Amino acid sequence: MADCTIRIKKNGSAMVSGSFVVEDVDGNPYTIEGEAFLCRCGASQTKPFCDGSHKAAGFESAPHVGDTA
Ligand code: FES
């Protein structure tokens, strides 16, 4: 059984739920128990986490596996 689930949100973040660690580019860990929303649009001021900026940025995504945006 997986320790976490990643759900791609339509035109938004990737919601990760479970028990996991996010490491930044320097390897600094963020231990998460519960949910985290990771930015996919590149506009967040709190990367790697989503801050809702994707709405103002007009981000459009491919929400299904195999879709191309
Ligand atoms: S996906 Fe939400 S700010 Fe980038």
CA 38 to centroid of ligand 1, rounded, Å: 7
Q: Where does the pLDDT of residue 66 fall: very low under 50, low under 70, confident under 90, or very high at 90 and above? A: confident
**Structure confidence by residue, pLDDT tens digits, 22-49:** 998 899 999 999 999 999 999 999 999 9
**Residues 25, 30, 48, 45, Cα dihedral to 10°:** -110
Task: Tell which CATH classification among 3.40.1350, 1.10.620, 1.10.287, 3.40.5 matches the domain 4-57.
Answer: 3.40.5
Q: 36: Cβ below 6 Å to ligand 1?
A: no
**Structure confidence by residue, pLDDT tens digits, 1-15:** 568 999 999 999 999
pLDDT at 62 (0 to 100):
76
CA 22 to centroid of chain Cα atoms: 10
In contact, 2 and 44? CB cutoff 8 Å: no
Q: Is the pLDDT of residue 20 over 90?
A: yes
Probe ligand 1: pick from 9, 11, 50, max atoms within 8 Å of CB?
50
